[in-house]
Amino acid sequence: MIENTIINKNQAGLKALTFSLTFPSPQLVEMAAHVGFDAVNLDGEHGTFSPESVDLMCQIANGYGMSVTARVPNNMSSTINLFLDRGVQGITGPHIETGEEAQALADACLFPTDGWRSWGGGRGTEFGDIHRLEKKYGGKLKFARWSNANMIVQAQIESKKAYDNLDDILAVKGLTGIVGGPNDFAASLGYPGQPDHPERQRLTTDAENRAKEAGKTTSDNGVGMAISDMMLTDAHRFVERHSKDTLEI
C-alpha cells in the first residue's frame, strides 16, 4: 500500500488532481500518471467495474504512485469491503440521508477502534502478509491505524432528506467530507431535469459552507476532478491549470 496521495497533497495546502473513470482502462490510468494526475477515481455506482477490474486499476495506479478512490454501487459493508480489499483508499457512499447511514459508512471503511471494517486478505491489507505487516508497519494494529489515517470517507448528499439531516451527517467523526449530486438533489426538490435550478444551487452552497464550518471537506475542497473522456492534450492543460490550486482555509 502507498500513502494516500490526495491526503498528502491536501496536507501540503494543495488540491489533488483526480482522474475519474466510468470503465476500466489500464491505458488511461497509465496516461493519467504520465500527465501528472495525483489519483484515480472509479465510479462504481454508474460505471462498469468488477472486483477484478478494480484490482487491476489499483495495481496499475499504485505502481505509478497514485491512490485510488471509488464511489461504491451501494453502502453495504460487504460491497465496500470488495473495493477496500482491492486497495481503494477512499470511498464515496451514494444516497446517504441520515446520520445513522453516514456512521455505518464510516464504520465500514475504518478498522477498529475507529470503525468496524472487516479484515481481508487482498492488496488493501498487504495480502495478509504478516512479515510485511510487521516489517513495514509494526504489526496488524499499527497497520490498521495507518490505513485509517490514509482513508477518505465521503457521504454523497443528493436529496432533500439528506439536506434536512445534514447536521447529524456532519457530526459523524469518521466522515471526511461530503460531495454533491445535483441531478438527484434537484429532482428531490421537485425540479427534475434542472440540476442548475437556483434553489438546488442555494441549498448546495449552504451545505458546503456548513460542512467547512464542521471541519469536513466538500467536493470542491481538496480535489480537482477530470473525467475520462478528455483528450490527452486536454488532460495536460487541466493539470497545468490546476496543479497549483490551493485549498480554501
CB of 39 closer than 8 Å to CB of 66: yes
Q: Which of 46, 95, 131, 236 is catalytic?
A: 46
How far is it, in rounded angstroms, from Cα 42 to Cα 30? 14
C-alpha radius of gyration, the chain, whole number: 18
CB of 173 closer than 8 Å to CB of 99: no
How far is it, in rounded angstroms, from Cα 208 to Cα 215? 11
How far is it, in rounded angstroms, from Cα 192 to Cα 99? 26
The residue among 214, 205, 152 whose CA lies nearest residue 182 is 205
Specify whether 34 is catalytic. no
How far is it, in rounded angstroms, from Cα 192 to Cα 184? 8
The residue among 151, 149, 166, 62 whose CA lies nearest residue 108 is 151
How far is it, in rounded angstroms, from Cα 244 to Cα 249? 15
Active site residue ranges: 46
